[in-house]
Structure formats: C-alpha cells, structure tokens
Amino acid sequence: MNTQMNAIDGARFREVLGHYPTGVSVVTATTPAGMPVGMVVGTFTSVSLEPPLVAFLPDKSSTSWPLIHESGSFCANVLSADQEVLCRKFAKSGGNKFEDVEWTPSASGSPILNNVVAWVDCDIEQVVESGDHYIVIGRVRDLDVMQLASPLAFFRGQFGQISPQPATSSMEVTDNSRSVAEQVAALFAERGPRRTMAREIANLAGESADRFDELFPSRDQIVDHLLTDYLQTLLDRYKEAVNIPGGSAQTLSALIGAMLASVDDHRAATVLFQNERANISTDASSTVPALEHEMRELWTAVISEGMKTGAFRSDVDASMVYYFIRDAAFMAARWHRPEGRYTTTELAGQYTRLILDGVATNRPSR
C-alpha cells in the first residue's frame, strides 16, 4: 500500500471546497476585563445532541481567538442574509469591531448581536489543535431563534443567502404520510435548535387533511389562520381577566398575567406574531386586525378607567401604555424559559410592579 500522499495546492483546495456553501456566524465573548470581542467564522456546526455540543474552527493566526479562549465561553451569532456589512466589519483585523453595533449580553456575558437569525451561548468544553486551526468544542448553556430569516452564506468566494423552497413548491408535496400540520411546520419553522417552535406551530394548524386546499391557497392565509386561533385564545383570556373583581390596578395585573401566560403555552405563535404582523393583510379576508383592535379596545378601556379614578397617572396616552406592555411582554417569548429563574406567574408579578410603580424611588415632577 502506497502511503505517499500527494501535496495539495492551497489555491486548489480553496477552489474545490468553495463549491460547498457554508453558513456565516460571528463568535463573540467578553474578556475578563469586560471588553467585547468577536470574529467571523464559516465553520460553526453542531456536534452532539446528548450532551448539547457545538464547534467552530478558528485559525491559529487569529488575534481574536486567544481573547475568546481566555474568557472561557462564547456565543455563536448566526448572521442573516442582510447582515453582510456587519459580517465584513467583524472580519477586519483590529479596530473596535463593536462600534455602533447593538447587542445584549447572554447568560455567559457574551454579546448577542441584534437581528441575527439565532444565537447559541456556550462554555468552552475542549480545544483541539489540528493543522493550522483549532477545533473548539462548546457545551451549550442556552440558545434561541431571534427571527425566521434567510441566513448569510459564503459560496464560491462570495456572500449570498440560503432560502427554503417557495411555499408553492411545498404545497406540491403529495406524500400522504406527511400531515397538514407537518407541512405547516416545515413552512414556518427552520431546522435548528428550536424544535419546540415547529411542534407548536404544527399543533396550531389543528386541521384535517381534507381541508388542506381550502386553508393553504397562499402563505398569507396560512399565517392568518395560525394567528387567528392564537389571538382568539388570548382575547378570551383577557375577557376572563377583566371580569375578576377588584379595582383598575388588580384588573391590569390580571391582564398582564393572561398575556404572559401565552409565553409558556403559545411561544411559537407569539414569536410568529412578532415576525409576521407587519405582513398581514388589512383587507376583509383577514381576521387578525379585527382581533387586534378588540384586544386594544379592551386594554385601553381598563387603562382609561384607571386614569379617571386616579389609580393610574393621566398624563400618558392609554394606547401607548397598552403597546408598551404588549411589546415588553411579547419579547419575553424570546428569552423566558419555564425552567429559568422565574415562573410565568413570578414574571407577571415583576412586570406588574415595574409598570405600576416604575423603578425610581424619588420620582421627579414633570
């Protein structure tokens, strides 16, 4: 057996491997001194489900990798197709890569960049030296999908995007073994760590196969159908909340509790509502705007009554108060976990106290 290996030309190696598209991520960390650091990688990948492990492969010549290694943890930010400018910013060597970049800290303290497709927060489990790169294994401590968008890809030396097949193509699937719910899930839940989103959206469909053609003539009508069930359930909970005896403060607290309860049992629908609301048609065929209007009227009536009785301050707009509470509560769907620090009931209590009392102990006159 001939063990002599032919030398592989580096340019040829890159050319051939360039025909395989790779995703683009920014791996971030915070140094012990509190400085955010980040680097672009095209090698981020899943490794293991049990235990949950991922990996990326930094070049040995990287000046950012030693800083990330020193931190002991990292967050992989999966870039969306419209974040090429951000990608190029982090690909440059030196300088302040985080200048004018909005981010929030993960549980490990590593930056989660705004508007990425998904993020995966990890502790560094193992580092293996291999050729001119390191293989960095990370144990996942938390992860989430931020938006259902096409990811940024690198292919044949250029940036591009990877998109799923159009909905019209998906509708042509005739395999009877695939249920309607599974096809809905395939349309709206990308493959990835958020399997719960796919399962919940599948459950939301709740329709038999003989209604497939009726329900799925267009993508907009699929979204409208899914969100109608969710918003109707939410509205019914609100109506129950306003019938609870007590003053305006107690009623508002009950409404907040009802809203946050949806984070646990309708997490995917809550995120879907945030992502798709701007694309919902306002014509008569859509029931979503009417349900939204009824919910807003119910909330603003409670808030306005509290203003009249002196329970709430009267120098703010009731609709603005509703939108503030709604948006803050809906965002909890992206980060709250039932097994986390707060239960949904405790979270509702925190929100209620912040909304009714604020955080200032000595409030300046306005």
* Cβ neighbours for 298, distance < 8 A, ≥ 6 positions apart: 235, 238, 239, 242
* Residue 198 confidence (pLDDT): 47
* Residue 111 confidence (pLDDT): 95
3-class SS at 4? coil
Q: Running along the chain, 366 residues long, what does each successive block of 10 average in pLDDT? A: 56 58 87 93 88 92 93 94 89 85 94 93 94 92 86 69 49 41 49 43 48 51 73 88 85 87 73 70 68 90 91 88 84 72 80 78 54
* Listed residue (328, 284, 321, 287) closest to 304, CA to CA: 321
* Residue 2 confidence (pLDDT): 47
Q: Is the CB of residue 200 less than 8 Å from the CB of residue 207?
A: no
Q: What is the DSSP secondary-structure string of 246-265?
A: S-HHHHHHHHHHHHHHHHHH
Distance CA 322, CA 14 (A): 54
* Cβ neighbours for 230, distance < 8 A, ≥ 6 positions apart: 204, 262, 266, 269, 270, 272, 273
Whether the bond between 338 and the residue before it is cis, its omega within 30 degrees of 0, is: no
Neighbours of 217 (CB within 10 A): 11
* Cα-trace Rg, the chain: 24
Domain 19-161 fold: Pnp Oxidase; Chain A (2.30.110)
3-class SS at 340? coil
* Residue 142 confidence (pLDDT): 93
Domain 219-357 fold: Tetracycline Repressor; domain 2 (1.10.357)
pLDDT tens-digit profile of 244-297? 888 888 898 888 888 888 777 777 777 777 777 666 666 555 678 888 889 999
Distance CA 215, CA 320 (A): 35
Distance CA 195, CA 173 (A): 22
Distances (CA, A) of 298 to 188, 239, 254: 30, 8, 13
* Residue 366 confidence (pLDDT): 47
Say whether pTM exceeds 0.85.
Answer: no
Domain ranges of the chain: 19-161, 167-215, 219-357
Place of tokens 């960049």: 113
